[in-house]
Amino acid sequence: MSRFSQAEIVRYSRQMLLPGVGGAGQAKLRDAKVLIVGAGGLGSPAALYLAAAGVGRIGLADSDRVDLSNLQRQILHRSADLGRPKAESGRETLLALNPGIEVTAHVGRLTPANALDIIGQYDVVIDGVDNFGSRYLLNDCCRLAGIPLVEGSVLRFDGMLFTILPATGPCYRCVFPEPPPPGVVPTCREAGVLGPVPGVIGCLQALETLKLILGIGRVLSGRILFYDGLNADFREAPARRASACLCQTLASLADRPEYQAQEACPTEEDSEGRC
Amino acid sequence: MKVDASLDLAGVACPINFVMAKLKLEELDPGQVLEVMVDDGAPCRNVPRSLAADGHAVLTVEEADGRWRILVRRGVGPCP
């Protein structure tokens, strides 16, 4: 009777019921292409919810293999996946959840040489990486390609989230003009992280992405959401476009030193001091 | 009353019956009328209420041979 099979109508019925979704919204989701960079603690829940919602084409980019220490929070992967490339393990999990979508595994690191080609195939990018270098690279690529970027990061019990709209910003550089010196901000590997914290932030990244695709609601642009999981507290801080930011003049992707910045996750204290 | 499209939702449970009616209404133009047949019980209570909440005008809800016939006019706004 419609553009959807009876199984699709039943599968997506609980969201098709919603104002702003319906059949037209479900068709937008089916036609959407989302790249998730990092199939880890953030990318796992984000990817699962986007696949479940029927986002038609999902790209999973990750250069790592599944390690035993990942399984406490990276819920795309199972014990049987140990040693497999995360992008491939994640792809299999997503297709088992929803065989009606397409999932592309990009095994390997995003570099200034390949990032624009990969990102250019998608409508929205989710940042689920674990290092500052990739964040700056993703920020600049999405700005150049005119693609929204949904930022998220976590450490210990804390997380933060914001959405970067290419035309209006503010971008990651507006908020964090340069990466912290090596060793100043600890990594999740050093400082630890409790699994549900990236779970919360990754779910919120998925929700921001669905809103962007559907064109509903108010996305988290021009403001940053901080989550203090230990005290169950959400706070918001304004973020403004910096007039001297590189995003105002960025014209091409040079191999900038920020792209080499080491693994780290910003804390609330760190980010608040910078915005 | 001119009916522009009909949908027989006998045996279809809530809320799938409403979702199918909603999808059918999206194919119509604002102002056009859809006839929907639903079962007695929860469907005949829920479907008209949900259609109205979605911004459509429920014109008729009448019993016919143990089933219910709903006439609904598609709302003029965007059909979410």
Provide mean pLDDT across the span B5-31.
95
Residues of A in contact with B80 (CB under 8 A): 18-22, 24-25
Q: Do B23 and A1 touch (CB under 8 A)?
A: yes
Alpha carbon of residue A243 to chain centroid: 26
- Kindly report the pTM of this predicted structure: 0.92
Would you state the pLDDT for residue A262?
64
Identify the helix (H) or strand (E) that includes residue B57.
strand B57-64
Rg (alpha carbons) of chain A, rounded to whole number: 18
CA A234, A240, A242, A246 dihedral sign is: positive
Question: What pLDDT is stored for residue B77 in this prediction?
Answer: 62
Q: Are A117 and A27 in contact (CB under 8 A)?
A: no
- A5 inside 8 A of chain B by CB: no
DSSP A229: T
Query: Over 70: is that where the pLDDT of B78 sits?
Result: no
Find the CB nearest B19 among A13, A19, A20. A13
Beta-bridge partner residues of A149: A125, A164
| Complex ipTM value | 0.88
- State whether B79 and A1 contact (CB < 8 Å): no
- Going by C-alpha positions, the residue among A198, A187, A180 that lies closest to residue A258 is A180
Q: Could B79 and A24 be called an inter-chain contact, meaning their C-beta atoms sit closer than 8 Å?
A: yes
pLDDT by residue (tens digit) across A254-267?
Answer: 878 888 876 544 44
Check if the beta carbon of residue A132 is closer than 8 Å to that of residue A179. Answer: yes
Q: Are A253 and A116 in contact, with CB atoms under 8 Å apart?
A: yes
pLDDT score of A60 more than 60: yes
Q: Rounded mean pLDDT of A54-60?
A: 98
Residue range A143-154: mean pLDDT, rounded: 97
- Asked if A213 contacts A246 with a C-beta cutoff of 8 angstroms, the reply is no
Residue range B40-64, pLDDT digits in tens:
999 999 999 999 999 999 999 999 8
CB pairs below 8 Å between A and B: how many? 44
Interface contact flag, B16 A10, Cβ < 8 Å: yes
Classify the C-alpha dihedral A186-A263-A65-A230 as positive or negative.
positive
Q: What is the pLDDT of residue B1?
A: 83
In A88-172, DSSP assigns E strands to 102-107, 124-127, 149-155, 158-164
The one-character DSSP state at B65 is T
Q: Where does the pLDDT of residue A182 fall: very low under 50, low under 70, confident under 90, or very high at 90 and above?
A: confident
Which of B4, B5, B7, B14 is catalytic? The answer is B14
